[in-house]
């Protein structure tokens, strides 16, 4: 135990750069929900990876963006607060730059960071933990494009630079080795076999929201929350758990979209969510879903708290 390494690793970046995909891959379990929609993650979610000689606690943070509501402000603050509370930071970026109108001194096309990355780079100047730049989705660009991105980030003096594909698990084992070496000597914070500190109810609500994000139109997802009403064993049926939940939206028109014609959309969301919740709980699940309209919930402290967003903590 004298050589045991342990610590906390924050995964930060703009929305939709692959933070949740990477955390799930490193943890070996689906802890954080994933969709193609930006700002999918709303809370800091911790997954625990324990192996011989080390334990890494990964924190998947909401994407840093310009907020437009109390929920958005909470998400950004939650991500920023994690930066100085950890032993190491993984800063995820996509291998893309913003092309500018003019050209550089050599007559070549001129590029700059997107606004979200500019904000993050500014925040990182004040942090104490070592920062690993992780360029994700390297399988989606050419070698020349990748080299341009590396050159643009080079002056920022990161502790390490890694190029990976979280979706295809390319170079992720090597990234994990680097993280392990950066963790300090320390205790085992969580017992063997524990993969997250999130309550089952919270994960279940997120799995339902994930399916809604995947299935719904662009204008709906960011106004959606999930409220678990009850989760209990069915009396007389030890292998059956009943889960009742509300999908909460902001507008009456959104309610109709979520329910769908003849209730088809809600049924599809429920069927897909039930399968994942059954894997989570290791039991058969009877999932019952309703749709409720609660206008302005994203700016209401009481409702935000009731849906699991700890506004007072940031």
pLDDT in tens, 239-292: 899 999 999 888 888 899 899 999 999 999 999 999 988 887 888 999 999 999
The domain that holds 92 is classified in CATH as 3.40.50.300
Instruction: Give the pLDDT score at 38.
Output: 43
Distant-in-sequence, close-in-space partners of 196: CB < 8 Å, separation ≥ 6: 27, 29, 31, 45, 46, 47, 48, 203
Instruction: Give the pLDDT score at 37.
Output: 45
More confident residue, 233 or 70: 233
Percent of the chain with pLDDT over 90: 32
Average pLDDT over all residues of the chain:
81
Band (pLDDT 50/70/90 cuts) for residue 42 is very low
My answer on whether 221 and 119 are in the same domain is no
* pTM for this entry: 0.67
> Residue 199 and residue 160: Cα distance in Å, rounded?
34
Q: Is a pLDDT exceeding 80 seen at residue 31? A: no
Average pLDDT of the segment spanning 193-207: 81
More confident residue, 87 or 71: 87
Domain boundary among 182, 210, 238: 182
Q: What are phi and psi of 153, to 5 degrees?
A: -85, -15
Which range has the worst mean pLDDT, 7-11, 256-260, 307-311? 307-311
CB contact at 8 A, 146 and 135 = yes
Tokens 């003096």 correspond to what residue? 157
My answer on whether 174 and 296 are in the same domain is no
Q: What is the pLDDT of residues 43-75, one digit of tens each?
A: 566 788 898 899 998 887 765 545 445 555 555
> How many CB atoms are located within 10 Å of the residue 224 CB?
19
Bridge partners, residue 133, by sequence: 91, 161
Q: Is a pLDDT exceeding 70 seen at residue 39? A: no
Distant-in-sequence, close-in-space partners of 244: CB < 8 Å, separation ≥ 6: 228, 229, 230, 231, 288, 290
DSSP state, residue 166: T
Average pLDDT of the segment spanning 214-224: 69
CB contact at 8 A, 113 and 34 = no
My answer on whether 254 and 120 are in the same domain is no
Domain boundary among 129, 153, 182: 182
Average pLDDT of the segment spanning 132-139: 95
Q: Is a pLDDT exceeding 50 seen at residue 35? A: no
My answer on whether 301 and 178 are in the same domain is no
Distant-in-sequence, close-in-space partners of 51: CB < 8 Å, separation ≥ 6: none
Band (pLDDT 50/70/90 cuts) for residue 40 is very low
My answer on whether 81 and 112 are in the same domain is yes
Q: Is a pLDDT exceeding 90 seen at residue 158? A: yes
Instruction: Give the pLDDT score at 91.
Output: 95
> Residue 43 and residue 78: Cα distance in Å, rounded?
7
My answer on whether 234 and 155 are in the same domain is no
- Domain containing 245 equals 200-313
My answer on whether 289 and 170 are in the same domain is no
Residue 188 lies in a domain: no
Q: Indicate the number of domains in the chain.
A: 2
The domain that holds 304 is classified in CATH as 3.30.300.20
């Amino acid at each position: 135990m004298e050589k045991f390494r342990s610590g906390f690793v924050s995964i930060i970046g703009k929305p939709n750069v692959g933070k949740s995909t990477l955390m799930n891959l490193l943890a070996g379990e689906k802890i954080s929900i994933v969709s193609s929609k930006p700002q999918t993650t709303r809370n800091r979610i911790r997954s625990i990876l324990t192996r011989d000689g080390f334990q890494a606690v990964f924190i998947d943070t909401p994407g840093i963006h310009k907020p437009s509501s109390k929920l958005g402000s909470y998400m950004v603050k939650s991500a920023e607060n994690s930066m100085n509370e950890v032993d190491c930071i993984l800063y995820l970026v996509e291998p893309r730059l913003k092309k500018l109108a003019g050209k550089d001194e050599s007559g070549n096309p001129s590029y700059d960071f997107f606004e979200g990355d500019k904000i993050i780079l500014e925040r990182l100047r004040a942090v104490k933990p070592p920062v690993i730049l992780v360029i994700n989705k390297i399988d989606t660009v050419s070698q020349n494009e990748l080299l341009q991105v590396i050159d643009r980030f080079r002056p920022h003096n990161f502790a390490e630079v890694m190029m990976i594909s979280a979706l295809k698990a390319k170079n992720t084992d090597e990234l994990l080795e680097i993280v392990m070496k950066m963790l300090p000597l320390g205790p085992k914070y969580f017992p063997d076999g524990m993969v997250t500190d999130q309550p089952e109810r919270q994960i279940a609500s997120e799995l339902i929201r994930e399916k809604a994000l995947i299935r719904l139109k662009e204008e709906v997802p960011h106004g959606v929350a999930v409220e678990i009403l009850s989760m209990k064993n069915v009396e007389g049926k030890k292998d059956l758990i009943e889960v009742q939940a509300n999908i909460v939206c902001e507008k009456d028109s959104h309610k109709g979209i979520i329910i769908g014609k003849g209730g088809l959309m809600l049924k599809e969301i429920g069927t897909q969510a039930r399968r994942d919740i059954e894997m989570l709980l290791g039991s058969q699940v009877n999932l019952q879903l309703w749709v409720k309209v609660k206008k302005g919930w994203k700016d209401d402290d009481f409702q935000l708290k009731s849906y699991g967003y700890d506004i007072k903590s940031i």
